Chain A
Amino acid sequence: MRRRQFIQLLAKAGGLGAAACLHHPLLAQSPFAGKLLMTLQLDGGIDVTSLCDPKMNVPGEREINWWARTDETRQAGNVPYAPFAANQQFFEKYHRDLLVINGVDAQTNSHSVGVLHNWSGRNSEGFPSITALYAAQSAADLPMAYLNFGGFASTQNVIRSTRFERVDQLQSIIFPNQGEWEGSYLAESEWERVQRYQLANTQNLADESDVIAGNRANRRYYLEAFQRAEGIKEFGNMLPASDQLQEERELSDNLWSSLHQQIQVGLTAFRAGVSVSADLYQDGFDTHEDNDRDQALLMANTTDALDYLWTEAEAQGLADRIVLLIGTDFGRTPHYNSGQGKDHWPIGSFMVMERNASYTNRVMGETDEGHNAYPVNLATGRRDSINGVIIKPAHVHLALRHYLGISETETSRRFPFNNTDSFAFFS
């Protein structure tokens, strides 16, 4: 770029354009008022037969569940559940807001493939997570449109994910020019000047031609990141102080959970208007030993976290906008191994939670007493040996895209579910 042009551009950046360049993006447009999408990735393979697809023991067959020796499947509204862990409390309170999809065939016993399949809808690489896709379509310009607290977060370059860890340190970087005790590192006017110059410089780099693909992408990422950094401050202002943050919970010697803290931070980001989708994450469900002990601890913590989520969301005025998709890698074997554990089983479940929805208080999909998936009717979700289809993650993702209004977009069409039946999950 010729020198004179460059200086002219700089002068423009130094004048009226200055404030606009660093302007909070939210002030230039109406706040996002659409749905807020969350996923809860229960990593390792939750035992759905002890949760939302309860299985009693079959005489003469290997024992599926120990709780079934002395108890029976319960039902809250139209939703059966297993009398295990703290399920009763959860299902009794939330069955009206719950759609259960049983008999989902992950078509694998591999963790990595199961995670990929369930959270992208396809068991081959190349599709983004549903949360990435939603953020890209709904509010790509927000500074932290897509949050990820762990687990599957493939974006396929439709958007970038903001990763969270050590939330107690967030405050110290969200306001980078704020000193720890007094004042600042630069005068505010100086910092504003530096940012203005940096933004102009980065814009020039992004505008250059004949830039190789990887460099071009990185320049664009940096420019957008720099432009949107200011927008995070609102989130920072709302973030609870360190001593007000939900603490990480020790469930046992080797089981920990930061789920409550993730929810707290995620809801704060939603309320601040800087995010529209978030992946929550809890690991530890791969119980090859002591299945019942660990599943009970984790499930109880998870349902407690879900209760916290909806209570807090209600308090913050967000509850009516949240759609929560709960899933896992796959299921667990319908029998115990020699270590009182359960191994991998390709059939799992999804749960969808939403307030005041027409499709909830319902179960779609069926499995037999041995936890094998039945082909089910597209409309009713009931067993249908003639016209039925075994539910796969693609069906759930396809239906969810339709429901969220992102199925016919240019971005979504780059990741099509071809020849995939449409289930009436959300009708």
Chain B
Amino acid sequence: MTLNTMQFSLIRHWLKRRLELGRLLLATLLLLLGLTSKQALAADASLDGTVLSIPEVSVDGASYRIDLSLIADSDPIELALSLAEATTVSGGDSVASFADNVLYVPRLNFAGTVYWLELNLASMDPVRFQLQDFGTQVSEEDQRQQALTLFESSIENEVIQNRCVACHIDGGPARDSGLQFQRSSETSIPNNLAVLESFLDSRADAEQWILSKVSGGDNHGGGAQLPTGGSDYSNLAELLQLLRGAGSGGGASGELFFTGITLQSNLETLRRAAITLAGRPPTAAEKAEVAAGDENTLRSVLRTLMTGDGFHEFLLLGANDRLLVRGTPDGVFLDGGGLFINFVERKIEHILADRARGLDWSFDTSRFYSGIDRGLRDSPLELIAHVVENDRPYSEILTADYMMLNPIANFAVDGTATFNNPEDYSEFQPGRMPRYRAWSESTVEEELPEIQEWRIVDPGDVIMDFPHAGVINTQSFLFRYPTTATNRNRARSRWTFQHFLDIDIERSAQRTTDPVALADTNNPTMFNNNCTVCHATMDPVAGAFQNYGEEGIYKQNAGIDSLDDFYKYPDDGDSLYRWGDVWYRDMRTPGLYELEAPSSDNSLQWLAHQIVAEPSFARATVKFWWPAVFGNTPLIRPEVEEDETFQAQLMAYDEQTRTINELAERFGAEGMNLKSLLVDMVMSDWFRAKSVDESQLTDSLRQAQEYAGIGNEVLLDPERLARKTEALTGFGWGRRYEFESDRVTSGLRDEYALFYGGHDSNGITVRSKEMTALMSTVAMSHALQSSCPIVLKEFSLPDGGRRLFNGISGTVTPIAEGDGHFDIVAESAQAPNIAQIDVPLQAGAKNVQMSFTNDWCDWDEVAQTCRSDRNLVLDKLVVLNSANNQVASIEANEFTVASQYNCGGWHDDNDMMLWSNCTVEAPLQLSADDSYSIQVHAWGEQAGDQPTKLSVVVNSEVDPLQSNAAGAQAIRQKLVELHDTMLGKAYAVDSPEIDTAYRLFVETWQARMASGDDTNITWSDGYQCDYWRDDFFFDDLPIDPAHAELQYSEEGYPYWEHSEITWEFIGENGADPLHVKRSWISLMTYLLTHYHYLYE
């Protein structure tokens, strides 16, 4: 910028007030004389009389304070160096610079205005500078405001709307470029400006790139739009310069979004990924492999997680969360306008059979319909799972020339799939419908008035080979996104764009409210610019669905077309329809963007191939699966600049978009393997972000991170929580087998899913990921109703075969030093059994507890007495030291009953009989530390199939909370394991978290011991243990395989009936003589309601 006369005069006026010539102290600015280090001042330069003081000049990394004195009457203005001294480097906007003989002063604060100065070195000796240029300094904020003003006045309409949006818009020819604008609307000005700002951030040469393209360079597809030298070009250049000077929009320019963030370790990532993708924790082998390896090892192991039922469920749920096909009601797929002979015939058979049996609706009929519903409703989801699980290119979800069917659906539609087990409706196989029929004049039906049905006598001569096109022409997809005579497949088009092309038609342009436009009846979707803005893109794809009517039937009109009768045969007779037409003449030709479908028969197959070839398909795929992996939906670009969080939102959005684009690019370039994409997503910072160092965050960055909601603790979906509990504990809350459709469901997957933030794919379509008070009661119910069955099952399994409680028995108390469990087979006092435990003990007071755990009686209801009765008889307690010397012998009649009810009493010869489950105890005083053998002499009054069972525990008389007994150590160690297994947290045995859990255990145990409550967790008075809530509870328990039989109701509905053996087994394993199992039940409730259990 050159001086103008007014500014020049002003400076001369002020500078002429005082003149002072000084001798130079420095030969050059690089020599230092009479140095005095002073505290740096990040202040502006100032002018005092004729002396220009510059607090800090940066020269080659060092800083100096200098004074320049005006040379009187100099023209051009010259200033001589009059002072130079070293100073502390401070930085800031006010620091001047000297380089290449130019001294640049960014801020001279003078008379309330901030100026910049540019001075050339005119002489080295003496050092003199010549004022070359100067001007007023504009703040970044002012600069941006100038940019906005320029944009509003000269760019938005003249350049963007008049030229750019012809191509650079969603769905336009330049849809894959980095510049996507909005058509004119209330928000288009700030948004389109933000698009330019964002683009300037994306590449270093963005400014030059844009100017080159608009003037026809760099192979611009749109040619030369703005000739260089023209006013539009100049305005655009100035705008870009202003934006660059202001720092582009989008929050703190140059800030890294993940600043200050610590990522999860490889092991932590493995666990979260395993729960997310496979619904289970990682195995020991997987953990070991990852622990020993590097990031590549982690990637490899992540890949191996993607198998099995858990991954299958992940795929089905993740796909349905987007497609919402499970929202289709029951019984609609085939009972409408289609001609499915097998379905009709079998339906009639069922009706007649039910009628003959006097039933309204038998199980067989119910299974018929339910199986078909499952087969067809889940077909698109199973197709996606099939493609992914078999490592096929993901594009096949659209290009597949087959569909997935289960056996009954395959039969109903006369499909070609073959099955391993035709009776298993959970098995899906690929098949086709080559014999797809349509009603025609040659179809012959016969009425069955007695059942109000029609039998197909002759299906007619219309048989078609159904042109499968992956997901998009499954009945399920077509039903979920229906059409009408006026909608004309536009909804199907809209969702196809949304799910597979990453284009939200409804957000791409603001609809007109111009009443004239709204009243336009001259085919506005074809001719009115207010409407074609969206319909030009949407309607060709709607046309590609031309062969599918309202109910998704292919060529429903006699195999010719699916046009509606309102169009073909209007009341006034004035129709555009001509015989043979398959699409509306007043709509755009079926196709995609500028391409037209070559054939009407398979336009959807053609469309599918076009879609997967678009770069946006990859991006759409990333966004499709984003919620399933990260637990939240992709961010939407903020629209209103005045929102106080706009900048933060934009920063978060830009960073996420960058990630999405990178993932998409790699996915598209490497064969579209979804498993690979899922691995990349899990390895990203978005998945692994764990903690943050807040001191490194600016306010804007903090806001942006909050808006994005990044973090590794995401509330588990109800389905995922169910699977996690099943995998970890072996118990499913409300888990049951639905015989109608061979589906396994459970409380969290069904009746409680909506309460816990799930959706029904229909009225509620979005998951709630924020815990509410009501949701917390579901978590509590899940924990309370699962805890007892889990503990019961665990201690019913042999040690070594459990999921959670290996290495500890159900009688280990916090004060126990050792325990043992014995079968007492002796039947008389003359030859008792000796139950012995060997345990190291320290000198001091001890206590031996002996428990009868399997009381049993064959009760005679008539005689009101036991036909046979099992009881335990204790003879004596003998203690031997390591030298096998007896140090104590206590007769049973000296034992005291520990239980608070009458369960034992004297028997012959100083013996004590325990006639119900009961615990007795004997105090012991040991005088030395030694290894002792504790022997209990006992026999039993035998009855039933089992011998009498005895548990023996040796306790130290210590405070349980302070106990260091073997039992306390074992319990603490078990708590460490449980926290690791269930919560994924590795705590030390003496950590606060383990202390907390141990304290909870001890308090519960002590309260129980003092309560006198019953000692069986399955039938305690007033307490329920709902193990029967899980149909599969007994499956891996070591009881007779014939523990349950399948029974049938009158209507044929099957149900399991468990045998007496089962209840006996449960009762026996529910024995809890020392209230240890009950204490573990409380702990289990605590762990199942723990934050780190519910959030992964």
Contacts and interface: CB of A to CB of B under 8 A. Distances in A.
A6 B709 contact: no
B702 interface: yes
Given A161-B768, A186-B1085, A218 B691 contact: no
A123 to B, nearest CB: 8
A273 to B, nearest CB: 13
B763 A283 contact: yes
Closest 10 CB pairs of A and B: A214-B711, A183-B1022, A6-B992, A338-B566, A215-B711, A143-B773, A179-B1024, A176-B780, A165-B754, A228-B773
22 contacts: A107-B511, A124-B639, A125-B638, A143-B774, A166-B755, A169-B755, A173-B780, A174-B777, A180-B1026, A186-B787, A187-B1007, A198-B1086, A213-B706, A215-B713, A217-B770, A221-B772, A222-B1094, A229-B780, A281-B763, A288-B486, A338-B485, A341-B486
Interface in A200-230: 200-202, 205, 209-219, 221-222, 224-226, 228-229
Interface stretch (A27-35, A50-58, A109-117, A301-309): A109-117
B62 interface: no
Interface in A138-170: 143-144, 150, 160-163, 165-166, 169-170
Interface string B610-652: 0000000000000000000000000010111011110001000
B159 interface: no
A213 B486 contact: no
Given A212-B692, A213-B702, A222-B1095, A144 B773 contact: yes
Given A125-B639, A190-B1007, A201 B713 contact: no
B485 A166 contact: no
B691 A339 contact: no
Given A3-B991, A183-B1023, A212-B710, A163 B757 contact: yes
A343 B486 contact: yes
A218 B1089 contact: no
A122 B510 CA distance: 13
A283 B763 CA distance: 8
Nearest to A108: B511
Contacts of B454: none
Contacts of A184: 1022-1024
Contacts of A144: 772-774
Given A173-B781, A190-B1004, A222-B1094, A229 B776 contact: yes
B484 A7 contact: no
B907 interface: no
A107 B510 contact: yes
Contacts of A193: 1000, 1003-1004, 1007, 1082
Contacts of A346: 511, 513, 518
Contacts of A288: 484-487
Given A113-B506, A214-B713, 16 more contacts: A3-B990, A126-B640, A161-B772, A165-B764, A170-B755, A173-B777, A174-B777, A176-B784, A191-B1085, A193-B1004, A194-B1082, A197-B1086, A209-B694, A210-B692, A218-B715, A218-B770
Contacts of B1013: 187
A132 B212 CA distance: 50
A391 B706 CA distance: 35
A343 B1024 CA distance: 57
Contacts of B784: 176-177, 185-186, 191
Contacts of B996: 6, 10, 197, 200-201
A183 B1082 CA distance: 16
Contacts of A108: 510-511
Given A107-B511, A110-B511, A212 B760 contact: no
Interface of A: 1, 3, 6-7, 10, 105, 107-113, 122-126, 143-144, 150, 160-163, 165-166, 169-170, 172-174, 176-177, 179-187, 189-191, 193-194, 197-198, 200-202, 205, 209-219, 221-222, 224-226, 228-229, 231-232, 281, 283, 288-289, 337-339, 341, 343, 345-346, 370, 372, 414, 416, 418
A368 to B, nearest CB: 9
A183 B773 contact: no
A191 B710 CA distance: 34
A108 B1094 CA distance: 41
Contacts of A414: 644-645
B751 interface: yes
User: A107, A214, A224: which has the most chain B beta carbons within 10 Å?
Assistant: A214
Nearest to A2: B992
B711 A213 contact: yes
A328 to B, nearest CB: 16
A372 B519 CA distance: 10
B874 interface: no
B187 interface: yes
A214 B513 CA distance: 40
Given A231-B773, A338-B566, A418 B642 contact: yes
A218 B486 CA distance: 45
Nearest to B712: A215
B644 to A, nearest CB: 6
Contacts of B770: 160, 217-218, 221
A341 B484 contact: yes
Contacts, number: 272
B834 interface: no
Interface string B816-849: 0000000000000000000000000000000000
User: A111, A222, A226, A281: which has the most chain B beta carbons within 10 Å?
Assistant: A222
B514 to A, nearest CB: 10
B693 interface: yes
Contacts of A181: 1024
User: B693, B752, B995, B1000: which has the most chain A beta carbons within 10 Å?
Assistant: B1000
Nearest to B786: A185
A226 B778 CA distance: 11
A222 B1025 CA distance: 27
A109 B490 CA distance: 13
Contacts of B751: 166, 169
Interface string B921-953: 000000000000000000000000000000000
Contacts of B702: 213
B995 A7 contact: yes
A150 B1085 CA distance: 32
Contact of B781 (A126, A172, A338): A172
Contact of B995 (A3, A173, A215, A345): A3
A17 to B, nearest CB: 15
Contacts of B642: 416, 418
B24 interface: no
B392 interface: no
A176 B1024 CA distance: 12
B666 interface: no
A416 B642 CA distance: 9
Contacts of B484: 288-289, 339, 341
A163 B1025 CA distance: 29
B558 interface: no
A107 B787 contact: no
A60 to B, nearest CB: 14
Contacts of A201: 993, 996, 1090-1091
A415 B1082 CA distance: 46
B968 interface: no
Contact of B638 (A126, A197, A341): A126
B519 A370 contact: yes
Nearest to A113: B506
Nearest to A338: B566
B1090 A212 contact: no
Interface string B483-504: 0111100000000000000000
A112 B507 CA distance: 9
User: A144, A201, A210, A228: which has the most chain B beta carbons within 10 Å?
Assistant: A201
B48 to A, nearest CB: 46
A113 B506 CA distance: 8
B763 A232 contact: no
B774 A345 contact: no
A185 B785 contact: yes
